[in-house]
Amino acid sequence: MKNLALLIFSLFSLISFAQKDFQGMAVYESKTSTSDFKSRMEGNKEITPEMQKMIEERMKKMFEKTFILNFDKSASIYKEEEKLDAPNQGGGMRFMSSMMGGGGTYYKNVKEKTYTVDKEFMGKEFLVKDSLPQLNWKMEAETRVIGGYNCFKATAVVPASKSDFRNFRMKNRGEKKEGEKKEETAKEEKEGEKKTNFLEELDMPKEITITAWYTPEIPVNQGPESYWGLPGLILEVNDGKTVILCSKIVLNSKEKVEIKAPKNGKVVTQKEYDETVMKKMEEMSEMNNGRGGFQMRMSR
């Protein structure tokens, strides 16, 4: 009976959403877990409580963001909520912030099955244009209510994006052999400082499992970021590390937003952009080699 009532409600919703000028707005709160980074800091005697507090505050700004999704029946734009830059937040922090899913406008056209997103990397502007990822959603039987909307669960396994730092996991140092640990310690003592290659501390999974909750009560094929392909607006996405949750929905507001693709930047495919990012990061790591950049130093 519950599913029948929901089906009837969805049919009425389809009628109301059929109008030509239909448009909606959804606010999403994105939060990425930093527990592995925090545990690594807590185990490092070189980081004082004051330093840890400062790092955690900066990490919170990078890993907790608010996004706005404006959508109609065929397209959408997803963009981070505009905020004034915090004092002392230099280009390095803005760079890391953009690698955590912020910055730029993400345009999806579900009718044409394409997307366009403008990105800034190392002072250069890129315009990534590609086909929307084909997500093989598995429809689950579980239901829940989010913001007053009845939602259904769906899961999918997707390749991890190499240019999105949120997909990286900290490596388990316990996996190192005892001989390697002693050699590393001896080298640190000889040089008089502790050095940690940032890239060598990270591990990239090949695939990640996505859990999404969508509502047929808003029958649009849209969602946050690159997520789409379900018979209703996606209100929550969880990849095991990052949770994107809808906190507000406004339908058919009098104030309309122009939903169009960004145009500035060098046009590249997603694969070309990912390769550019990884190549530059590797170059920076090799070039600095303990002298800054992606190297994290802590004097004894």
Nearest to 116 by CA among 269, 275, 277: 269
List, for residues 20-30, the tens digit of each pLDDT value: 678 999 999 99
pLDDT of residue 87: 47
- To the question of domain 2-168+204-268 being in CATH 2.50.20, the answer is yes
Confidence (pLDDT) at 15: 52
* DSSP labels, 44-59: -TTS-HHHHHHHHHHH
Is the pLDDT at 193 greater than 50, yes or no? no
For residue 138, the surrounding DSSP H or E stretch is strand 138-146
pLDDT band at 195 (very low <50, low <70, confident <90, very high): very low
Residue 164 banded pLDDT, cuts 50, 70, 90: confident
Which is nearest to 212 in space by CA: 133, 151, 130?
151
For tokens 């707005």, name the residue: 25
Cα angle at 147 between 145 and 152, to 5 degrees? Answer: 35
pTM for the model stands at 0.75
- 180 pLDDT exceeds 60? no
Q: What pLDDT sits at residue 243?
A: 95
* Token pair listed for 133: 């990822």
Residue 300 has pLDDT above 50, yes or no: no
> Interhelix angle for 49-63 vs 35-42, to 10°?
170
pLDDT at 297 over 90: no
When mean pLDDT is compared over 8-12, 37-41, 67-71, 185-189, the highest value belongs to 67-71
Least confident range of 54-63, 90-99, 136-145, 239-248: 90-99
3-state SS, 169-192, equals: EECCHHHCCHHHHHHHHHHHHHHC
Domain parsing of the chain, residue ranges: 2-168+204-268
- The per-residue pLDDT for range 130-140, each reduced to its tens digit, is 999 999 999 99
Better-scored residue on pLDDT, 66 or 57: 66
The pLDDT assigned to 29 comes to 96
Q: Would you call 4 exposed, middle or buried from its count of C-beta atoms within 10 A (0-12, 13-18, 19+)?
A: exposed
Query: Which amino acid is present at 80?
Result: E
Q: What is the pLDDT of residue 267?
A: 97
